[in-house]
Amino acid sequence: MRMTEFTEQVSAVSELSPAGELRTVVSPQCVVQENEPLSRRTTLRVGGSADLWVEPATEPDLIAMLQWAGDRGMPVMLLGRGSNLLVRDGGIRGMVICLCQPHFARVEVEGCRVRCGAGARLKAVSNEARNHELAGLEFLEGIPGSVGGALRMNAGAHAGSIFDAVVEVRLLDLHGRVQVMSGAGMEAGYRSCPMLRTHVAVEAVLEGRPEARAAIEQRMKEFNHKRWSSQPAAPSAGCVFKNPDSIPAGRLVEELGLKGARVGGARVSMEHGNFIVTEAGSTAAEVLTLINRIREKARSERGIELETEVQIVGEEADQP
């Protein structure tokens, strides 16, 4: 190649937008978009945009994306199915990665173990376990998220948490280096797995136990009925607050007389006091104001310091 041709190619790459530049180092099957509204990517349906939204098609693509962002000092955030998340109205700077393509959504049963990609829906995991007569994972059926998000939050329901079933997790650090760790070695706690603040889970192996399909299905039906009879159908992020030691957060909110409390289009659910639901046109600022109002009243009237379970991320919107 002549020097002039090489210089022209370098110049062409340098003139690309960040999305255009990233597309030159990943496969064509990847999704790469700029200024992607996150209100349509989260279950709460509020919040600003991501500077760069990416969906890698394969693990090599994911590694290339992490290395590309690292070389530029660009912040990286993982987003699963968008539950348990509140994005502020100013959006998220840097790269937001979603592992929703088929490679990361696979679920495979191997004996009593279920190998699943980080992008697999929890409902798909519990259904596949049921189909192979494996018990112990049916509690995942009612959690509206992905395996990766559930690992990051050690999500749970009906007295079970995902790390109770985790055998091992395949991880990437933010430079794209691979590591495999046991579930016990990751030291997950209540609604938290600190290691996944600095690493990306790409695959997990969960373990069930043999049991008749009919018994598993019955429990799944009971869990599903309990969820839909006690939780709102309107857009929400799931439980807003972690349960204090002394009282469930939902009951506390009810005793404080805050069911139905509203700020703009954000409202405390009448079905469950630990849920905030939104209407079309709501803003993240309205949800945050309502959260703070609940926390202040719990502190002043009951001496209880409520801690949010929902993850609050992103930037405040610029003031006009």
b/e string for 26-60 if b means 16 or more Cβ within 10 A? beeebebeeebebbebbbbbbbbbbbbbbbbbbbe
Separation of alpha carbons 99 and 125, rounded Å: 16
**DSSP β-bridge partners for residue 276:** 268
- H or E segment and range at residue 213: helix 213-230
pLDDT value at position 14?
54
pLDDT value at position 10?
45
| Length reported for the chain | 320
Strands (DSSP E) contained in the chain are: 31-37, 49-55, 76-78, 85-87, 92-97, 107-110, 113-117, 134-135, 156-157, 160-161, 166-173, 178-182, 199-207, 209-210, 262-263, 266-268, 276-278, 311-313
Interstrand relation of 160-161 and 85-87 (parallel, antiparallel or unpaired): unpaired
Separation of alpha carbons 173 and 7, rounded Å: 34
Task: At 51, list the tokens.
Answer: 């500077």
* Total-model pTM: 0.88
Q: How many CB atoms lie within 10 A of CB 205?
A: 19
Residue whose entry in the numeric block shows the structure tokens 């990361």: 104
b/e string for 165-200 if b means 16 or more Cβ within 10 A? bbebbbbbeeebeeeebebeebebeebebebbeebb
Separation of alpha carbons 281 and 209, rounded Å: 46
Show the CA angle centred on residue 91, arms to residues 72 and 13, nearest 5°. 30
pLDDT value at position 8?
47
pLDDT value at position 11?
47
State the first-to-last Cα distance of the chain, in angstroms, to the nearest integer.
52
Dmax (CA) for the chain in angstroms is: 77
| Domains along the sequence of the chain with CATH | 105-215 (3.30.465.10), 232-313 (3.90.78.10)
pLDDT, one tens digit for every residue, the chain (320 residues): 554 444 444 444 457 899 999 999 999 999 999 999 999 999 999 999 999 999 999 999 999 999 999 999 999 999 999 989 999 999 999 999 999 999 999 999 999 999 999 999 999 999 999 999 999 999 888 788 899 999 998 987 766 789 999 999 999 998 999 999 999 999 898 888 999 989 999 999 999 999 999 999 999 988 887 777 778 889 999 999 999 999 999 999 999 999 999 999 999 999 999 999 999 999 999 999 999 999 999 999 999 999 999 999 999 998 65
pLDDT value at position 161?
87
Task: At 183, list the tokens.
Answer: 């579930």
Cα distances from 190 to residues 103, 157, 197, in angstroms, run: 29, 12, 15
**Residue 10 amino acid letter:** V
51 contacts: CB under 8 Å, gap ≥ 6: 18, 34, 35, 91, 92, 93, 94, 95, 96
pLDDT value at position 226?
77
Task: At 253, list the tokens.
Answer: 């909110």
